[in-house]
Amino acid sequence: MADETKTKIKYLNNEIKTTLSFSFLGIIVGYLSFLISNRIYGLVFAIVVLYAAMIIFKKLFNIKERLKSKWWLSNAVIVYIFIWLIVWSIFITLNM
């Protein structure tokens, strides 16, 4: 029972770390995408950073391959894209 609890706590810690990391990354990349003058290049930049971040954070947080794409989608991709799009839109609107 104690071993199961430790596994669940480790899983939740990875979930929280991943969500927070991709949130902060979304803010930073949203601003950097704004600095890129072409909007298409900003979008491509954001997608490349997302892919690279998934590889880096997988190694950094020791996330195993057994996690399905649903886990990555809910804890990383949606959070990143949502925050990136909001930050990018705010900066574009403020610049007009």
CB-CB contact of 25 with 53 (8 Å): yes
Report the distance separating Cα 33 and Cα 39, nearest Å.
8
- The phi, psi pair for 62, rounded to 5°, reads 55, 50
From the list 42, 51, 52, the residue with the least C-alpha distance to 84 is 42
Residue 67 three-state SS: coil
14-18, 44-48, 84-88: the lowest-pLDDT one: 14-18
Q: pLDDT of 5-44, one tens digit each?
A: 666 566 667 788 888 999 999 999 999 999 998 889 999 9
